[in-house]
C-alpha cells in the first residue's frame, strides 16, 4: 500500500488515498482501483504499463491523448442519442507529463474512474449485448472523422494474419518449448483455414475497405456500464491505432456472443449465441451503419470468424513459444484458450448463414 501511495503521489490527484486494490481482469497491465476521501473527491485507476509489450510508452500515451481529446471535443456537441456517454482521460503527473517512470524501470499512468460503473466478463442478457454494441458503435462514430495516420502503430501488424501465421509456422518448425507434439490437431486446424483468413487483409490491400481509428481490443469487459446497465464508456485504449473496423466488430462478437468464457475447458459449453449476436449487431449497426461502407457491413459476420481464428492462433503461438505474452494461471492455459477459440469458430461456421442474415436485417 505504501508503494502504491507513493506512486499515486506522483500524479495530480484530489483527496486522500484510503485504499488501492487490484482491479479488473486484464491479461497485460497491472491495474489498481484507488479510492479517495472525502467521498466528493474522484476515484482513480492506477496502472503499471507492461512496457515489455508496449515498448514505446511515449507514443502509446500520445495516441491515448489524441483519441480521448478528440472524443471529448465531439461529446461537447454530441447528438441527443449520445447523452450519458463519457470518455476516460489520463491524469497528469506533478512533473507535467502523463506517465511516471519509477526507479525500478516501471511505467505508471492514471485514469479517472467512472464512479459507480461496472464491467462484465460475460454478457448476461440481450439488452446488455445491445448496449455493448451501441458503446463501440459510439466510440467508432466519434472517431470516424479522425485521420488514422496521425496515430502511432503501437503494436505493428497486430491483427495482420500474414506475419502471425509466419511466426506460428516458425515456432512449429523450431519447437522451442517442445510442445508441438501435444498440439498437432490444433496446428492442423489453423492450417486448414489459413487461406480463407486472408480475406480482410486482401480487402485492405486492394483499397476496398478504409483504414480507420480502431480500438483493437473490443472485449466486452472493456465497456463500462452504469448500475442500471446502460453503456457509459469504453476503456483499455492501449491498442487504439490505425486498422480495419472489421477487427473491432469481430473481436466484440468473439467475447460478447460466446456461451462460455475465453478459457472454458468443457468445449461442449462453447457456442455462438445467436440471440446475443443479433442484439449486439442491432445495437452496433444502429449507430455504425451511418458511417460504415457497404463492403464493411457485408463482412461483419465473417469478421467474427476471423477474430476468433486469429486470437486462437495467438494463444496457440504463445503456448508453442513458452507462454511469454499472455498471463497464464496454470500449465497449458494458453493451449486451453486456443482450443476454446477453435470450438467457438466451429460453431460460427455452422451458423454462418444465420449470422449473415442477421447483419442484412440491420443494414
* CATH number of the structural domain spanning residue 143: 3.90.1200.10
Residues 123, 129, 134, 137: is their CA dihedral positive or negative? positive
Which residues constitute the domain of residue 199? 126-361
User: End-to-end CA distance of the chain, in Å?
Assistant: 52
Q: CA-to-CA distance for 206 and 224, rounded, in angstroms?
A: 36
Residue 283 has phi, psi (to 5 degrees) of: -65, -40
In which band, very low, low, confident or very high, does the pLDDT at 260 lie, cut at 50, 70 and 90? very high
- Confidence check: pLDDT of 336 > 60: yes
Residue 117 falls within a domain, yes or no?
A: no
Question: What's the number of domains the chain is made of?
Answer: 2
Per DSSP, the three-state class of 292 is coil
151 CA to centre of own chain: 17
- pLDDT score of 3: 78
Strands, E assignment, the chain: 16-22, 30-37, 44-49, 100-101, 107-112, 212-214, 223-225, 231-234, 241-243
Q: How far is CA 323 from CA 163, 179, 190, 271, 320, in A?
A: 19, 11, 19, 26, 7
Q: CA-to-CA distance for 361 and 363, rounded, in angstroms?
A: 6
Cβ burial of 334 (10 Å; 0-12, 13-18, 19+) is buried
Residue 181 falls within a domain, yes or no?
A: yes
Q: CA-to-CA distance for 310 and 169, rounded, in angstroms?
A: 14
Mean pLDDT of 290-302: 97
> What is the per-residue pLDDT across 164-206, written as a single tens digit (0 to 9) for each?
999 999 999 999 999 999 999 999 999 999 999 999 999 999 9
Mean pLDDT of 212-228: 94
Residue 214 falls within a domain, yes or no?
A: yes
- Confidence check: pLDDT of 316 > 80: yes
Q: Are residues 144 and 107 part of one domain?
A: no
Residue with cell 495482420: 160
Q: Which of 88, 112, 136 is where one domain is finished?
A: 112
Cβ burial of 193 (10 Å; 0-12, 13-18, 19+) is middle
Q: CA-to-CA distance for 298 and 280, rounded, in angstroms?
A: 16
Q: Which of 78, 112, 146 is where one domain is finished?
A: 112
Q: Are residues 130 and 102 part of one domain?
A: no
- Confidence check: pLDDT of 80 > 60: no
- Confidence check: pLDDT of 27 > 70: no
Mean residue pLDDT across the chain? 94
Q: Are residues 282 and 143 part of one domain?
A: yes
- Confidence check: pLDDT of 34 > 90: yes
HSE (side-chain half, CA atoms, 13 Å) at 149: 1
Residue 120 falls within a domain, yes or no?
A: no
Q: Are residues 200 and 77 part of one domain?
A: no
Residue 100 has phi, psi (to 5 degrees) of: -120, 130
Q: Are residues 62 and 26 part of one domain?
A: yes
In which band, very low, low, confident or very high, does the pLDDT at 1 lie, cut at 50, 70 and 90? low
Cβ burial of 84 (10 Å; 0-12, 13-18, 19+) is exposed
Q: CA-to-CA distance for 312 and 343, rounded, in angstroms?
A: 10
Q: Are residues 347 and 201 part of one domain?
A: yes
Q: Among residues 252, 242, 235, which one has the least CA distance to residue 307?
A: 252
- The CATH number of whichever domain residue 57 belongs to comes to 3.30.200.20
Q: Among residues 135, 102, 110, 95, which one has the least CA distance to residue 42?
A: 110
Nine-digit cell string for 109: 499512468
Q: Are residues 161 and 89 part of one domain?
A: no
Q: Are residues 135 and 90 part of one domain?
A: no
Per DSSP, the three-state class of 22 is strand
- Confidence check: pLDDT of 304 > 60: yes
Residue 118 falls within a domain, yes or no?
A: no
Q: Which of 82, 112, 142 is where one domain is finished?
A: 112
- pLDDT score of 329: 93
* Percentage of the residues of the chain whose pLDDT score is greater than 90: 83
> What is the per-residue pLDDT across 141-162, written as a single tens digit (0 to 9) for each?
999 999 999 999 999 999 999 9
Nine-digit cell string for 113: 474512474
Q: Are residues 95 and 143 part of one domain?
A: no
- pLDDT score of 72: 92
User: Measured over all CA atoms, what is the biggest interatomic distance in the chain, rounded to whole angstroms?
Assistant: 59
Residue 44 falls within a domain, yes or no?
A: yes
Residue 119 falls within a domain, yes or no?
A: no
- pLDDT score of 26: 63
Mean pLDDT of 316-330: 94
CB atoms within 10 A of CB 94: 11
b/e sequence 262-294, b meaning 16+ C-beta within 10 Å: bbbeeeeebbbbbebbbbbbbbbbbbbeeebee
Q: CA-to-CA distance for 361 and 143, rounded, in angstroms?
A: 25
* Percentage of the residues of the chain whose pLDDT score is greater than 70: 97
Q: Are residues 162 and 52 part of one domain?
A: no
pTM for this predicted structure: 0.91
- pLDDT score of 79: 60
Q: Are residues 102 and 49 part of one domain?
A: yes
In which band, very low, low, confident or very high, does the pLDDT at 83 lie, cut at 50, 70 and 90? low
Q: Are residues 275 and 147 part of one domain?
A: yes
> What is the per-residue pLDDT across 94-118, written as a single tens digit (0 to 9) for each?
999 999 999 999 999 999 999 889 9
Per DSSP, the three-state class of 151 is coil
Q: CA-to-CA distance for 136 and 233, rounded, in angstroms?
A: 9
Residue 147 falls within a domain, yes or no?
A: yes
Specify the length of the chain in residues: 363
Amino acid at each position: 500500500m505504501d508503494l502504491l501511495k507513493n506512486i499515486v503521489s506522483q500524479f495530480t490527484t484530489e483527496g486522500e488515498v484510503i485504499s488501492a486494490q487490484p482491479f479488473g481482469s486484464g491479461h497485460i497491465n497491472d491495474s489498481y482501483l484507488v479510492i479517495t476521501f472525502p467521498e466528493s473527491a474522484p476515484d482513480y485507476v492506477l496502472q503499471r504499463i507492461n512496457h515489455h509489450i508496449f515498448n514505446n510508452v511515449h507514443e502509446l500515451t500520445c495516441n491515448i491523448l489524441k483519441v480521448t481529446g478528440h472524443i471529448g471535443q465531439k461529446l461537447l456537441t454530441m447528438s441527443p442519442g449520445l447523452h450519458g456517454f463519457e470518455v476516460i482521460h489520463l491524469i497528469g503527473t506533478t512533473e507535467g507529463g502523463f506517465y511516471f517512470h519509477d526507479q525500478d524501470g516501471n511505467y505508471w499512468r492514471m485514469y479517472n474512474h467512472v464512479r459507480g460503473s461496472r464491467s462484465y466478463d460475460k454478457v448476461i442478457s440481450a439488452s446488455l449485448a445491445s448496449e455493448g454494441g451501441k458503446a463501440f458503435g459510439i466510440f467508432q462514430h466519434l472517431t470516424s472523422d479522425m485521420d488514422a495516420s496521425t496515430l502511432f502503430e503501437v503494436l505493428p501488424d497486430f491483427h495482420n494474419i500474414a506475419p502471425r501465421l509466419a511466426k506460428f509456422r516458425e515456432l512449429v518448425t523450431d519447437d522451442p518449448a517442445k510442445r508441438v507434439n501435444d498440439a498437432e490437431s490444433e496446428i492442423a486446424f489453423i492450417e486448414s483455414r489459413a487461406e480463407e483468413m486472408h480475406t480482410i487483409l486482401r480487402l485492405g490491400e486492394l483499397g476496398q475497405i478504409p483504414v480507420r481509428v480502431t480500438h483493437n481490443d473490443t472485449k466486452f469487459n472493456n465497456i463500462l456500464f452504469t448500475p442500471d446497465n446502460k453503456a457509459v464508456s469504453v476503456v483499455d485504449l492501449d491498442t487504439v491505432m490505425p486498422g480495419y473496423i472489421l477487427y473491432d466488430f469481430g473481436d466484440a462478437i468473439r467475447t460478447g456472443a460466446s456461451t462460455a468464457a475465453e478459457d472454458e475447458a468443457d468445449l461442449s459449453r462453447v457456442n455462438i449465441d445467436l440471440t446475443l449476436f443479433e442484439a449486439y449487431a442491432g445495437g452496433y449497426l444502429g449507430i455504425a451503419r451511418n458511417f460504415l461502407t457497404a463492403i464493411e457491413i457485408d463482412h461483419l459476420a465473417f469478421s467474427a470468424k476471423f477474430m476468433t481464428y486469429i486470437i486462437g492462433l495467438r494463444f496457440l503461438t504463445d503456448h508453442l513459444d513458452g507462454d511469454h505474452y499472455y498471463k497464464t494461471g496454470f500449465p497449458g492455459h494458453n493451449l486451453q484458450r486456443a482450443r476454446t477459440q477453435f470450438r467457438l469458430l466451429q460453431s460460427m461456421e455452422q451458423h454462418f448463414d444465420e449470422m449473415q442474415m442477421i447483419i442484412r436485417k440491420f443494414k
